[in-house]
Amino acid sequence: MADYNTIRAGQAGTRAAQIDQGLRAHMNKVYGTMSVGLLMTALVAWAVGSNDALLSIFRNVQTGQMTILGWAAMFAPLVMVFAFGAVINRLSAAGAQLFFYVYAAVMGLSLSWIFIAFTGISIAQTFVITSIAFAGLSLWGYTTKKDISGWGSFLIMGVIGILVASIVNIFLGSPAIHFAISVIGVLLFAGLTAYDTQRIKTDYISHAHAMDEEWLAKSAIMGALNLYLDFVNLFMFLLQFLGNRE
């Protein structure tokens, strides 16, 4: 009996070690995919935003007013992210990854205007600050023993609220509403960074026993998309506070 228990304990320990190793590989893929997406977004935004001829396709360089294509570029990422969630189960892992990178490039088009609105130095500084804050929040979400899954509904409702308020304020142009949206946005996406990190971890652990490689690959891409969105939105809201306008 003792030998049987020892064998069972050894098997459990081996399985736990395999899950830990798999989790580290899974998280590395999530962060790696997210980082490539961020790099692609930054390169596209810079390439378009620093070239008046390209930028004029989307905005009037002198007045900052958006063209029809500018409006399309602004709303395209929102449409694509909902489409991604709807079709990911029908895509292969490679197809889902390609979709994510195309999405990241389109996001770069929608953010290119920041290079005529803010100084390059303030954009770089805000990016560094966002990176440090994101790393700390994500690390906390990964390591904390506290179950923060209950935050999800509140945070998602908050995001929907600021999205609606942002669209309304495009037409109102209220500085007070803009400031309130920026403050709330920073808090919401700080919370979402920690929440999404913990959810990616717990989802992997709960499914690791099945070792469905296709599911794990798609899960890593979806996790990368969630963290990518957290980073981009946190950066944009912080830029409203820290960015020096041209």
pLDDT range class, residue 54, cuts 50, 70, 90: confident
> Cα 58 to the chain's mean position, in Å?
24
As for how many domains the chain has, the answer is: 1
Rounded distance between C-alpha atoms, residue 152 and residue 232, angstroms: 19
Count of other CB atoms within 10 angstroms of residue 107: 25
pLDDT the model gives residue 15? 52
| Helix, strand and coil percent figures for the chain, each rounded to 5 | 85, 0, 15
Q: Identify residue 201 by its one-letter amino acid code.
A: K
Rounded distance between C-alpha atoms, residue 233 and residue 102, angstroms: 18
Residue 55 · residue 104 · CB < 8 Å: no
Per-residue model confidence as pLDDT tens digits over 92-146:
888 999 999 999 999 999 999 898 889 889 999 999 999 999 999 999 999 999 9
pLDDT the model gives residue 7? 44
Q: Which two tokens stand for residue 176?
A: 């007070």
Count of other CB atoms within 10 angstroms of residue 174: 13
Domain enclosing residue 90, as ranges:
2-242
Q: Is 233 left (phi over 0), alpha (psi -120 to 50) or beta?
A: alpha
Per-residue model confidence as pLDDT tens digits over 15-35:
555 567 888 889 999 999 999
Q: How many CA atoms lie within 13 A of 246 on its CB side?
A: 13
Rounded distance between C-alpha atoms, residue 27 and residue 139, angstroms: 11
Angstrom CA distances, 120 to 35, 63, 64, stand at 21, 19, 17
